[in-house]
């Protein structure tokens, strides 16, 4: 959930990279600490979490190092430079299409074998690089010792041990980045493959990586290269290359990609045996045991419930209760609003302008009050809680618990990650859908995020309102929203073409969240929220103000009355909340919050209105993100589907609840 | 009339007997030979079968031979369905060919390789062979699916039979390859395995495609 990176969507943030500086890129396996090191070298914060796939885009920054500045790139993690998903492709394409003076390979010291699989490929690419072995503390606690000197000797590049979260090794990295070396390590493959490489090399174009490396990727059957190659050398040469590939392929019963990585594994295992020793560590730490319990078929459930309950306490009771009371009643009720009213009335003699600022639909009395006094405290509480959850490594374990449920919707446990991230910010989560392998899954996740996953700002307001209704009301709301998502997901899975992908997800170790990272991350997200949401709140309020003045609001309320009042059984004024809910549904929810506070809705009405607004498209930004990631047509089609469904479900819920005479 | 005809008749008799039937018509219905009556006569003449009043009965020698044919057929089915993952119609036709070809030694090897499976894919019993009787209750099967390991067990990967190449490449990039040792951490709610210091959640489908030798 890299909410505050929103400004960089669509392009890599190019603003802080000066092209005249030497250039370096961070690359490595997922979840090994590339973003931490990037942050330490550039002073620029990139969201750091404890699950693979936190970074799905490239971030650029300037590292101020002894001896001059450098442009540094942080890339999404990969397990192979022959990409298997969109985010992996981003990294390979960067290495292919750009030139770097240095590549910094970051690896997890306790997973040396997987690190060196990439090292072998980097050596083949022929770029100057060096290796950082991060998380030395975790490796040591598992009884792993690595002979760094010997490893450096094998590959002919510098190997720097590091513990990035404690800033250990950073000095050496900032020196090593000046003197990277081309690796002397060269793996000789099976003779058929070598012959294939030799005949392919003359046909290949110049690029950021060596022809040998490019040939190996092509032999491995990397189709993502074809369109690039087509534009570089033309269709005829591409056909020749494919012929060579097929000729080599005929010599093996297994796929060439597999044969190549098998040879790499064998070579890497030889190196690992030379440089790494493992002592058996007998005691299992509490974190390891807790990590096991949290994905246990039986114990996992009480842990999940405990996490949900903790969220309810932190966000619903503390955030929406204590904090909102304090901000709304004390700060805004007693000070900000009365004072600004006095000041405005004293300074501005024109009544209509007074009303614009402090009236019923006033910028301060409505927009700022909603944004700062109601939504911000709740969202802030959520950001802290959610950040802790992200950094603990619990989220991938949740994916294990929910895999079966997600299969109903044509997805698997891997899709749990973007969906849960949607609880933070649906817009960013829409982008994270890239970690999924098939287009079908990305579409389903995007649709479900837009349809039913309430984002932090909204979930807070909703929990705050539901806490005052009843547990039954909360369950009806949750059950309805989840039911609609399951149904829509199920149908979408049936209707959409395309297959399901494999569930294969790396589970990071459980870690104690670092307070500093938690604070920086939360502050970054709050800043994002203020920048992103407040202007829309102000715009929405202004629209309401104008609509009210020209009596349009009355018309809208009259026109929508058959739906809002008759079908959904809500007060006519709820139409206002739905109207601003089109901009941001948390803003709509905040309007409903006020209605409920004013005692204008009973329990059933609150639940019905919340169901409806939860099923709205999250916000304008989310709409644009869908358009960017999935195309404008898709964004419009999804919206055209979602809004009617929201009102339909709300109306049905009303009919059923009233029909059975339920009171909440 | 060849040996194959004898085999086919005996196979049909065995199959009918399993269902509790012994009528001549039933056997002739399912026997996959031409000139069924001549074939039946031949089998009777060879001393594998006796007919009394339209009902058939295997002689001890006939039963021994039928048992081996059925065993070869059903082991072949299992091999094709699980290891090679052939489609159903291929399984049947190929198993019918294989049952006549497999030598006793190869049959034993296949049976051991499949860890002496008790039933064929259709759930019918596979007659036990000599190799199965040698198998003591404690003896480890040679190769088993990852999904047949008990949680907490370690297995060395012997081979992987993925549905597609992409899956194999992906597994390979995570270090899941023949010769790697993996630990099965749990089976529910999802399969979780450990390889080195990496913990991975995987599809149950994938765990069916990874064959390991328990270590």
Per the CB < 8 Å rule, is B165 touching A258? yes
Residue of A nearest to B161 (CA): A254
Pick the CATH number of A6-176 from 3.40.190.10, 3.40.50.300, 1.20.1440.230, 3.40.50.720: 3.40.50.300
Distance from C-alpha of A364 to C-alpha of B95, rounded to nearest angstrom:
80
pLDDT for residue A11: 38
Residue of chain A nearest B186, judged by CA positions: A296
Identify the H or E element spanning A381. helix A376-392
Q: Is the pLDDT of residue B14 over 80?
A: yes
User: Where is B183: in which H helix or E strand?
Assistant: strand B181-186
Which stretch of DSSP H or E encloses residue A255? Answer: none
* Predicted local distance difference test score (pLDDT) of residue A8: 37
pLDDT in tens, A178-233: 989 999 898 999 899 999 999 999 999 988 899 999 999 999 888 888 888 988 88
| The predicted structure's pLDDT at residue A457 | 77
According to the model, what pLDDT value does residue A282 have? 67
pLDDT at A18: 54
- Judged by CB atoms closer than 8 Å, whether chains meet at B202 and A220 is answered as no
pLDDT of residue A10: 37
Distance CA A164, CA A26 (A): 14
Q: Is the pTM of this model over 0.90?
A: no
Q: Do B170 and A504 touch (CB under 8 A)?
A: yes
Contact between B178 and A262 using a beta-carbon 8 Å cutoff: yes
CA pair distance A359, A596, nearest whole angstrom: 20
Q: Which of A503, A474, A325 lies closest to A414, judged by CA? A: A503
- Number of Cβ atoms within 10 Å of the Cβ of A395: 20
Q: Evaluate if residue B139 carries a pLDDT over 80.
A: no
Chain B nearest-CA residue for A509: B199
> CATH assignment of B143-214?
2.30.30.90
Give yes or no for a contact between A105 and A115, defined as CB atoms under 8 angstroms apart: yes
pLDDT at A13: 41
- Contact between chains at B169 and A297 (C-beta distance less than 8 A): no
CATH label, A191-278, candidates 3.40.50.170, 2.40.50.100, 1.10.287.1770, 3.40.50.300: 1.10.287.1770
- Is A413 in contact with B201 (Cβ distance < 8 A)? yes
Q: Which residues of B touch A509 (CB under 8 A)?
A: 199
User: What per-residue confidence (pLDDT) applies to B168?
Assistant: 80
Query: Under an 8 Å CB criterion, which residues of B touch A?
Result: 165-175, 177-178, 180, 185-186, 188-190, 192, 196-203, 205-206
Reported as a single tens digit per residue, the pLDDT across B29-45 is: 888 888 888 888 888 88
Residues of chain A with CATH 3.40.50.300: 6-176
Report in angstroms the alpha-carbon separations of B79 from A578, B74, B92, B95: 61, 9, 11, 9
ipTM of predicted assembly, 2 dp: 0.77
The pLDDT value recorded for residue B167 is 81
Question: How confident is the model over A39-65, as pLDDT tens digits?
Answer: 899 888 877 777 776 777 888 889 888
Which residues of chain B are within 8 Å of residue A220 when distances are taken between CB atoms? 169
Contacts of B170 in chain A (CB under 8 A): 79, 84, 502, 504
Residue where the block lists tokens 């960017």: A628
Q: Please report the pLDDT score of residue A272 as a whole number.
A: 93
Q: CA nearest B171 in A: which residue?
A: A504
The residue of chain B with its CA nearest to that of A405 is: B189
Q: CA-CA distance, B79 to B71, in Å (whole number)?
A: 12
Note whether A506 contacts B188, CB cutoff 8 Å: no
* Minimum distance, in Å, between the CA of residue B17 and any CA atom of chain A: 42
Q: Which residue in chain B has the smallest CA separation from A400?
A: B190
Question: What ranges do the domains of chain B cover?
Answer: 3-58, 64-133, 143-214
Query: Which residue in A400, A412, A506 is closest to B198 by CB distance?
Result: A506
- Smallest Cα distance from A54 to chain B, Å: 17
* Smallest CA–CA distance from B166 into chain A, residue: A84
Low-confidence ranges of chain A (pLDDT < 70): 1-19, 53, 282-283
Do A503 and B202 count as a contact with CB atoms less than 8 A apart?
yes
Architecture of the domain whose range is B64-133? Orthogonal Bundle (1.10)
Interchain pair B165, A261: CB under 8 A: no
CA dihedral A621, A624, A629, A632 (to 10 degrees): 160
pLDDT in tens, A404-446: 889 889 888 888 888 988 887 888 888 888 888 888 999 999 9
Tokens 């190799």 -> residue: B131
Provide the pLDDT confidence category of residue B140 given band limits of 50, 70 and 90. Answer: low
Instruction: Please give the C-alpha separations between residue B34 and each of A79, A316, B28, in angstroms, as whole numbers.
Output: 58, 78, 10
Q: Rounded to a whole number, what is the distance in Å from the CA of A10 to chain B's nearest CA?
A: 28
Tens-place pLDDT, residues B151-203: 989 999 888 877 777 788 788 888 888 888 999 998 888 899 999 888 999 98
pLDDT at A105: 96
pLDDT, position A200: 93
Contact B168 A142 (CB under 8 A): no
- Which of A255, A403, A413 has its CB closest to that of B168? A255
Contact B206 A265 (CB under 8 A): no
């Amino acid at each position: 959930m890299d909410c505050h990176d929103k400004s960089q969507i669509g392009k890599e943030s190019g603003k802080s990279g000066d092209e005249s500086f030497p250039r370096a890129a961070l690359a490595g396996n997922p979840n090994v600490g590339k973003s931490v090191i990037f942050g330490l070298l550039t002073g620029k914060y990139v969201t750091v979490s404890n699950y693979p796939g936190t970074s799905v885009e490239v971030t650029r920054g300037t590292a101020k190092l002894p001896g001059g500045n450098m442009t540094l790139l942080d890339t999404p993690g990969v397990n192979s430079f022959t990409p298997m998903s969109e985010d992996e492709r981003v990294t390979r394409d960067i290495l292919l299409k750009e030139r770097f003076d240095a590549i910094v390979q970051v690896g997890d010291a306790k997973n040396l074998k997987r690190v060196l699989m990439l090292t072998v490929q980097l050596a083949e690419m022929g770029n100057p690089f060096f290796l950082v072995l991060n998380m030395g503390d975790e490796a040591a606690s598992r009884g792993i010792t690595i002979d760094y000197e010997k490893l450096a000797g094998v590959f002919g590049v510098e190997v720097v041990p590091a513990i990035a979260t404690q800033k250990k090794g950073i000095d050496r990295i900032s020196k090593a980045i000046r003197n990277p070396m081309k690796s002397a390590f060269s793996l000789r493959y099976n003779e058929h493959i070598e012959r294939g490489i030799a005949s392919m090399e003359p046909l290949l174009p110049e690029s950021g990586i060596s022809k040998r490396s490019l040939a190996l990727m092509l032999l491995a059957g990397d189709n993502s290269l074809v369109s690039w190659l087509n534009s570089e050398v033309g269709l005829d040469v591409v056909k020749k290359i494919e012929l060579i590939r097929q000729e080599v392929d005929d010599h093996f019963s297994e796929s060439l990609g597999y044969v190549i990585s098998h040879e790499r594994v064998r070579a890497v295992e030889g190196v690992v045996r030379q440089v790494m020793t493992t002592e058996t560590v007998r005691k299992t730490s509490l974190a390891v045991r807790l990590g096991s319990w949290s994905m246990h078929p039986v114990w996992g459930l009480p842990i999940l419930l405990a996490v949900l309950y903790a969220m309810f306490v932190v966000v619903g009771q503390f955030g929406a209760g204590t904090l909102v009371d304090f901000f709304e009643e004390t700060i805004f009720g007693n000070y900000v609003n009365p004072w600004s009213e006095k000041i405005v009335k004293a300074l501005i003699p024109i009544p209509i302008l007074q009303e614009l600022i402090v009236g019923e639909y006033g910028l301060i009395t409505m927009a700022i009050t909603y944004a700062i006094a109601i939504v911000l405290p709740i969202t802030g509480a959520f950001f802290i809680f959610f950040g802790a959850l992200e950094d603990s490594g619990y989220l991938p374990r949740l994916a294990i618990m929910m895999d079966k449920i997600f299969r109903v919707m044509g997805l698997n446990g891997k899709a749990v990650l973007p969906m849960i991230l949607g609880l933070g910010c649906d817009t960013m989560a829409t982008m994270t859908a890239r970690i999924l392998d098939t287009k079908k899954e990305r579409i389903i996740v995007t649709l479900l995020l837009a349809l039913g996953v309430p984002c932090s700002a909204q979930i807070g307001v909703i929990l705050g309102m539901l806490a005052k209704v009843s547990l039954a009301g909360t369950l009806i709301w949750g059950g309805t929203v989840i039911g609609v998502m399951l149904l829509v997901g199920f149908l979408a899975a049936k209707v959409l073409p395309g297959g399901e992908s494999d569930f294969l997800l790396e589970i990071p170790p459980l870690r104690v969240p670092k307070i500093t990272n938690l604070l920086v991350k939360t502050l970054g997200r709050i800043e994002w929220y203020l920048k992103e949401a407040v202007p829309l709140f102000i715009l929405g309020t202004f629209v309401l103000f104008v609509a009210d003045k020209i009596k349009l609001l009355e018309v809208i309320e009259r026109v929508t009355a058959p739906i809002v009042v008759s079908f959904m059984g809500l007060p006519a004024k709820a139409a206002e909340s739905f109207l601003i809910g089109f901009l941001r549904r948390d803003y709509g929810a905040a309007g409903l919050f006020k209605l409920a506070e004013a005692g204008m809705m009973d329990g059933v009405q609150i639940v019905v209105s919340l169901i409806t607004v939860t099923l709205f498209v999250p916000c304008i930004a989310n709409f644009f993100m869908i358009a960017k990631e999935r195309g404008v047509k898709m964004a419009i089609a999804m919206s055209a589907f979602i809004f009617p469904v929201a009102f339909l479900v709300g109306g049905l819920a009303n009919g059923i609840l009233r029909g059975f005479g339920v009171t909440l | 009339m060849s040996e194959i005809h004898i085999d086919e008749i005996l196979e049909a008799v065995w199959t009918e007997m399993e269902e509790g039937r012994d009528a001549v018509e039933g056997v002739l219905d399912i026997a996959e030979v031409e000139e069924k009556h001549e074939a039946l006569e031949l089998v009777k003449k060879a001393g594998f079968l006796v007919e009394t009043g339209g009902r058939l009965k295997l002689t001890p020698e006939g039963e021994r031979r039928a048992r081996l044919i059925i065993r070869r057929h059903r082991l072949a089915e299992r091999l094709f369905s699980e290891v090679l993952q052939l489609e159903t119609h291929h399984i049947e036709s190929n198993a019918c060919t294989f049952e006549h070809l497999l030598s006793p030694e190869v049959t034993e090897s296949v049976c051991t390789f499949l860890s002496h499976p008790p039933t064929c894919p259709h759930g019918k019993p596979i007659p036990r062979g000599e190799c199965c009787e040698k198998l003591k209750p404690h003896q480890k099967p040679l190769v088993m699916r990852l999904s047949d390991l008990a949680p907490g067990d370690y297995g060395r990967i012997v081979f992987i039979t993925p549905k597609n190449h992409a899956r194999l490449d992906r597994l390979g990039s995570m270090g899941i390859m023949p010769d790697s040792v993996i630990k099965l951490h749990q089976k529910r709610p999802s399969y979780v395995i450990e390889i080195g210091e990496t913990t991975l959640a995987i599809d149950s489908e994938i765990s069916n495609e990874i064959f390991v030798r328990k270590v």
